[in-house]
Every structure is written in structure tokens, then in C-alpha cells.
Amino acid sequence: MSTSKQMAAEAIRQDLLQSSASLLSGNEADALGRALRRFFPELNHAIVVHWIPEQAEDIYWVLVSRTEIAEIEIPRGNYAEENPPMLKILDVGAYMKKRHSRDVRQKLEVGLKLFKNS
């Protein structure tokens, strides 16, 4: 791997670790963090590999283990008060077979290495 690719991978790694720590820190203002702590109380790492802001909700794909990705829909605005976050568990292998942007593929690759090393 070239030096620039190694530096890019390290920057992604640091960003993912910081984001994971922030999500799991207990900040009650963060809806995704609250949902993750509710669905996975023993979670040590949460790597957000993809996020889509929709009109009434945000959809996140979060690597929660070496084999599982949590797809979490977080309602926004007035819709959030009436509807709790929804969870769907996906297999990492099946998720990897779908088409993704380069950014998503890189985050997933680095995230899987983080889970492997922890």
C-alpha cells in the first residue's frame, strides 16, 4: 500500500474511532447514540459506514460487529415524538455485495479491521 493510501486509511480510522466514542459516550442530545445504546447496551464500537438524510427520517448503516450491520431509521421533527427508531440487522457479507460509493467501502473496510483488532 502506498504511503498516501496508508495515511488516508489512518485518517479514516481515527475519524471512525472518534465518531464511535462520541456515539457511545452517553450524550442524550444525539438521537443515533441513544438508539444504539438502547438496541445494543453492551456495544463497544459503532462504526457509521453510511447515512442518508430523508425528508422525515435519517437512515444510518452502522457496523456493530464483524458480521452485522444495523440499519437504523431515526425519525425527525414532529414525526420523532410519535415514532421510535426502527432497527433492521443486515449480514456484513450481503451488505458488501451491494453497490456502494468508494467512501462507504473504505469506511466498511477500515471498520472491519477495527473490529478484528479489538
Q: What is the pLDDT of residues 13-68, one digit of tens each?
A: 899 989 888 888 877 678 899 999 999 999 888 999 999 998 889 999 999 999 99
Grid coordinates in use for 78? 414532529
DSSP-derived secondary structure letter, 41: T
Dihedral sign computed on CA atoms, order 33, 36, 62, 65: positive
The model's confidence at residue 1, banded by pLDDT at 50, 70 and 90, is low
In single-letter form, the type of residue at position 7 comes to M
Euclidean distance between CA atoms 45 and 88, whole angstroms: 18
Q: What is the pLDDT of residues 70-88, one digit of tens each?
A: 999 999 877 667 789 999 9
